[in-house]
Amino acid sequence: MKKFTQESDNLKIAKYKIAILEKHLYLCGFIIIKRNTNSVLRTCCVVSYNPSVFEIDLKSDIKKIENTIYRYKFDEGNNVVLANKLLLKLYSCEEKIVEAIDKEKFEFVIEQIISVFDIKEKNKIKTEYLIDTFSTDVSRKDEINYNRVDNNIVDTYEQKKFFLKTKPVVDYKKGESVEKIKSKEILCEFVDNREISKNIMRVLFPKDEKYLYAKVVDVKQRNKRYYEITCFITPMIYTSFIVDKTQRLVVKK
C-alpha cells in the first residue's frame, strides 16, 4: 500500500532548547498547538543542570525528542520545580503562546520561558528553536478525509489528563468546608500504589513526598451528603475524590 505525507495546516509544532549560562541551566522542550481551537495540544520540557540536554537534535522525530526528554527527567541534574513553573507559565498565557507559534514569532515564547528564571544577564543565553507544520504518513486512497487525518494526529498527540490517587487531609478544627474551597489549594495525601504514579511523583517532587497541594478546579454535588472534588497538580496531572459535606479540608494559607 502506497503512503504519502499529509501536512496538517491546523497543527503546528515548536521545538526549542535554551542554555542559561548564568545559572548553568539547560532546557529542551516542544509545544504542539491546535490552531482552530487556539489551544496547546501537548507540551513537554525538561530543565536540567546537565549540559547534554542542549545537545538534543531538534530536527529529530518528535517521539525521539520526547523519549530523550523523559530520560533526562530521571537524571540527577533534573530540576522538577523549575520545569513545573515553566509549564504553568506557558499555560497561563496559552492563547498568546498559540498566536506566537502560529505567526512564527517564537521570541515571545522565549521571553515567557526566560521570565521564570529571574535572569539578570540576558546576553548569556543561547536559544535554538524550530517551528513546523505537523505531518504524518497516510495510506493512499481514492478520497482522503483531511479532517479525519487531523483527528488521528490529535488522538495520537493530545496530552491526556492523568489522575493520581490521593485523599484530602481533614482537619475539623482549622479546615474549610467544601462550599468554600473552589479555586483554593488543598492538602492531599498520596495513596497511589501504581508504579506509573510513583514514577510521576518522583518526577514532580525532588524527594519522596507523601503530601502535596492541589488546586481545586471543580466541585460537584453528587447527592445531599457527598461532593466530588477535582483538583490539578500540574496542567496535565490531576486528582479526584469524594468527600462528605461535614468534612473540613486543609487549605494552603
Domain end among 124, 157, 190: 157
Q: Look at residue 253 and tell me if it is in a domain.
A: no
pLDDT tens figures, 24-47: 999 999 998 888 888 888 888 999
Q: Look at residue 249 and tell me if it is in a domain.
A: no
Q: Using alpha carbons, select from 130, 125, 107, 137 the residue that is nearest to residue 32.
A: 130
pLDDT tens figures, 143-178: 333 333 344 444 444 556 789 999 999 999 999 999
Domain end among 136, 157, 178: 157
94 and 152 co-located in one domain: yes
Give CA–CA dist 237/239, Å, rounded.
7
Cβ atoms of 245 and 178 within 8 Å: the answer is: yes
176 and 141 co-located in one domain: no
Return the pLDDT at 92.
75
41 and 12 co-located in one domain: yes
How many Å is the maximal CA-CA distance in the chain? 69
Give CA–CA dist 86/82, Å, rounded.
6
Partners of 15 in the beta sheet? Answer: 30, 130
Q: Are strands 237-244 and 162-164 parallel, antiparallel or unpaired?
A: parallel
Q: What mean pLDDT value characterizes the chain?
A: 83
189 and 119 co-located in one domain: no
Cβ atoms of 92 and 115 within 8 Å: the answer is: no
197 and 144 co-located in one domain: no
Q: Look at residue 251 and tell me if it is in a domain.
A: no
Return the pLDDT at 189.
95
Give CA–CA dist 219/243, Å, rounded.
10
Model confidence band, residue 8 (pLDDT cutoffs 50, 70, 90): low
Q: What is the span of the domain harbouring residue 182?
A: 162-244
- What total number of domains does the chain contain? 2
pLDDT tens figures, 94-143: 889 999 999 999 999 999 999 888 887 777 899 999 998 765 443 434 33
Return the pLDDT at 133.
79
Grid coordinates representing 236? 496535565
Q: Look at residue 205 and tell me if it is in a domain.
A: yes
Lowest-confidence segment of 2-16, 178-192, 226-240 by average pLDDT? 2-16
pTM, full prediction: 0.61
8 and 124 co-located in one domain: yes
Q: Look at residue 103 and tell me if it is in a domain.
A: yes
Return the pLDDT at 135.
58
pLDDT tens figures, 174-230: 999 999 998 899 999 999 998 878 877 877 776 678 999 999 989 999 998 999 999
pLDDT tens figures, 53-88: 999 999 998 889 999 998 998 888 899 888 888 887
Please provide the DSSP assignment of 44-112 as one string: EEEEES-GGGGG--TTS-HHHHHHHHHHHHTSTTB-HHHHHHHHHHHHHTHHHHHHHHHTT-THHHHHH
